[in-house]
Amino acid sequence: MATVQFDQITKSYGAVEAIRDFNLDIEDGEFCVFVGPSGCGKSTALKMLAGLEATSGGTISIGGRDVTELGPGKRDIAMVFQNYALYPHMSVRKNIGFGLKMQGLPANDINAKVEEAARVLELTPYLDRKPRALSGGQRQRVALGRAIVREPAAFLMDEPLSNLDAKLRVQTRSEIVKLQRRLGVTTIYVTHDQTEALTMADKIVVMKGGEIQQVGSAEQLFHAPVNVFVAGFIGSPGMNFFHGKVESGPQGPVTRFGGHDIPLPAKCAGMSGRDMIFGIRPEHIRVGEDGPGVALSLVENLGTEKILHFHTPGENVLELDRAQVGADEERDAQTMLIRVIDDRRYSEAETLALAFPVEKLHVFDPDTHEAAAG
Amino acid sequence: MIPTIDFSAPRHRAKFGYLLLAPAVLLMAVIIVYPILLSVSISMQDVRIARIGDSGEPWTLENYQWLFGSGETWHALWVTFKLVAVVGGLSVIIGFATAMLVNQKFRGRAAARLFVALPWAVPEVVATVIWAWMLDSSFGLVNWVLLTSGLVSEPIAFGSNPTAAFAAVCFVMIWKGYPLMSIMLLAGLQSIPEEQYQAAKVDGAGVWQRFWYITLPNMLPVVGVTMVMTTLWVFRDFAIIHVLTQGGPLGATTTLSILTFEQSFEFFRMGQGAAVGVLTMVLCAIISRALVGRMAKSVH
């Protein structure tokens, strides 16, 4: 158990900077998730922490000890790999015990610890099987067993769930969290799946293009994203964006959306006359009240919830690169989504009146894409 | 009317496959199966010079009585096994070492890989003639180097000293045989997932431990296959020994294949030669079956 610190870490491949100014403090026992789209540097950061990749600058400390110049075996960490990286020629028992054997523990102690880890992970019946005789979920648990048996200062996990099917992934997700809570070992977990990040983490690190965008709890990232990218990346579906000019209305600042005045937060009073980016989450748009009317272009019924699509009014369309917005793939800039949970039947081409609750509106600077301060 | 068969139909697909296979099967029957049967038949006849199409002599086991009764066979068997052990063992070690070397990332790796593979690309007879010249006892390069560097006081008689001749044959066979080992083992090394090494590093395994616990077990099937190939190659290789020593001196390098040649084409006792050939074939079949089966089972 230990704290983990990244201090001014950089990583470059030739002229390409893969990671810049990476500063992060992870508390003892914390579950920290690195999340971001592919190529954002999250796996590289993890590999540098593991000692599998050299840093180009900065220092990494585990438990207050500078480990930057140490090999992976001397960092007192355990790692779970995406494809599990089990040793195919060894039985489950030997796979789990390999790290202990390398530490030079006596065979009796190894066996006792392996049996204990197998009991925790419900692997006891499979101890003498080879990995290829196991299902995906069981292999995954063997990989976890190999990590926990060593009682390391930190667990590193590199997308450990991505090779499992959807149902097993959800189940294993909660098992990992329970295990981590029980063992209390600092865990650094890499994923591209924001749902995994939100459900598992104490601390989420959102990355893009080798830079940390925001560090915070699921709550903070969801309700107070610092920029357009985080706002679009976190949440499923991600936040809707539109742009508009801030004007002064009788009761405070407003913007025009589909020919209607939309009240804005009071902090926008000082931005009068400026073009801003506004964001609102699909679940925060209210339907069936007074407000701008929109025609639905598509209704997706997911059983309990429905996703309603409508075209963003022409003058409000925000032309942004998808990579900048961090939005999921199935939407385009011209479409906004509403997520509703009710019993009403919606049909395509139906016109709805919408309301954007003022306290749920996010305001971003169009130049920096950062959340606008009042 | 000729009934037409639609070969793309599921129930006729197999027939089309057999049709396509037929030429290859026929060819194999003519150039492999028939000669094997023919040599088995010759080995059971008391013939000096066999003629195809002859009505043939009556079948007898005389050749096999000679085969198991004569010291020549047992000596040739002993020489063959010695050669297999030395050449097979050393070329696996050298091949493994060079494969690991050229599997590293370094500047000039492509050139290094080429150099490793080079002896394999030179035709066997050409290479052996050059080696025979270099190993010559009176004006060969090897003896000149050994003499001028003071390693030996008089030239080594590679042609007349049985031990030296055996060593020379081993050396040239290893030189010729290790590149194929190296190429196959390199392919094997490249198929070991990098994550296994990373996991072992995180588990605290050092260089030797990673070699022992990751590289070696992963490589066993490939090593097995290459061992079989080298064993069979040494068993049947004829050109190197024939060019270098003609099986001499005093039979020190007379392997089973050299014995087959001697009996058949020097002493013109083709029945006995064929018997040696049949013995070689049976031994090769047993060895490859045992090695392949065992290596394949031991890992996956």
Per-residue pLDDT, A326: 59
Please indicate, yes or no, if residue A127 is contained in any of the structural domains. yes
* Nearest residue in A to B195, CA atom: A85
Q: CATH number of the domain that A333 lies in?
A: 2.40.50.140
Of A201, A230, A259, the residue that ends a domain is A230
Please indicate, yes or no, if residue A369 is contained in any of the structural domains. no
Is the domain of A245 the same as that of A277? Answer: yes
Distance from CA of A95 to the nearest CA of B (A): 10
* Cross-chain residue pair A103–B204, CB shorter than 8 Å: yes
Is the domain of A86 the same as that of A151? Answer: yes
B204 to chain A, any CB pair closer than 8 A? The answer is yes
Q: CATH number of the domain that A67 lies in?
A: 3.40.50.300
* Cross-chain residue pair A52–B201, CB shorter than 8 Å: yes
Is the domain of A214 the same as that of A304? Answer: no
- Nearest by CB to residue A72, choosing from B193, B196, B201, is B201
Residue type, B45: Q
B105 to chain A, any CB pair closer than 8 A? The answer is no
Instruction: Kindly tell me if the per-residue pLDDT of B180 is higher than 80.
Output: yes
Please indicate, yes or no, if residue B134 is contained in any of the structural domains. yes
Please indicate, yes or no, if residue A184 is contained in any of the structural domains. yes
How sure is the predictor about A289, in pLDDT bands with cuts at 50, 70 and 90?
low
Burial of A303 (0-12, 13-18, 19+ CB in 10 A): exposed
* Nearest residue in A to B210, CA atom: A102
Q: Find where tokens 């069979």 sit.
A: B232
Is the domain of A77 the same as that of A25? Answer: yes
Please indicate, yes or no, if residue B219 is contained in any of the structural domains. yes
Per-residue pLDDT, B174: 92
Q: Under 8 Å CB-to-CB from A96, ≥6 apart: which residues?
A: A114, A117, A118, A123, A142, A145, A146, A149
Is the domain of A168 the same as that of A75? Answer: yes
Of A230, A254, A285, the residue that ends a domain is A230
Q: How far is CA B269 from CA A346, B259, B260, B265, B274, in A?
A: 98, 11, 10, 8, 9
Greater confidence (A61 vs A270) lies with A61
Please indicate, yes or no, if residue A374 is contained in any of the structural domains. no
Chain A contacts to B (CB-CB under 8 A): 50-52, 71-74, 77-79, 81-83, 85-90, 98-99, 102-103, 132, 146, 150
* Nearest residue in A to B208, CA atom: A102
B299 to chain A, any CB pair closer than 8 A? The answer is yes
Q: B109 is in which domain, residue-wise?
A: 70-299
Please indicate, yes or no, if residue A370 is contained in any of the structural domains. no
Instruction: Kindly tell me if the per-residue pLDDT of B273 is higher than 70.
Output: yes
Whole-angstrom distance, CA of residue A96 vs CA of residue A87: 10
Residues of B in contact with A88 (CB under 8 A): 218, 299-300
Please indicate, yes or no, if residue A281 is contained in any of the structural domains. yes
How sure is the predictor about A45, in pLDDT bands with cuts at 50, 70 and 90?
very high
Is the domain of A329 the same as that of A204? Answer: no
Q: A260 is in which domain, residue-wise?
A: 239-364
Residues B221-231 have a mean pLDDT of: 86
Residues A23-33 have a mean pLDDT of: 92
Is the domain of A188 the same as that of A71? Answer: yes
* Cross-chain residue pair B206–A89, CB shorter than 8 Å: no
The structural domain count of chain B equals: 1
Is the domain of A209 the same as that of A244? Answer: no
Q: What is the mean pLDDT of chain B?
A: 85
Q: Alpha carbon B3 to chain centroid distance?
A: 51
Greater confidence (B297 vs A252) lies with A252
* Nearest residue in B to A98, CA atom: B203
Residues of A in contact with B219 (CB under 8 A): none
Is the domain of A217 the same as that of A344? Answer: no
B203 to chain A, any CB pair closer than 8 A? The answer is yes
Q: Which among B196, B203, B219 is the top mutation candidate for probing chain A, defined by the most A β-carbons within 10 Å of its own β-carbon?
A: B203
Per-residue pLDDT, A17: 86
Burial of B2 (0-12, 13-18, 19+ CB in 10 A): exposed
Q: CATH number of the domain that B210 lies in?
A: 1.10.3720.10
Per-residue pLDDT, A136: 86
Is the domain of A222 the same as that of A344? Answer: no
* Cross-chain residue pair A73–B193, CB shorter than 8 Å: no
Cβ A3 vs Cβ A186: under 8 Å: yes
Please indicate, yes or no, if residue A297 is contained in any of the structural domains. yes
- Nearest by CB to residue A79, choosing from B199, B213, B218, is B199
Please indicate, yes or no, if residue B104 is contained in any of the structural domains. yes
- Nearest by CB to residue B218, choosing from A85, A89, A98, is A89
Please indicate, yes or no, if residue B32 is contained in any of the structural domains. no
Distance from CA of A85 to the nearest CA of B (A): 5
Q: Which among B196, B201, B202, B218 is the top mutation candidate for probing chain A, defined by the most A β-carbons within 10 Å of its own β-carbon?
A: B202
The structural domain count of chain A equals: 2
Instruction: Kindly tell me if the per-residue pLDDT of B229 is higher than 60.
Output: yes
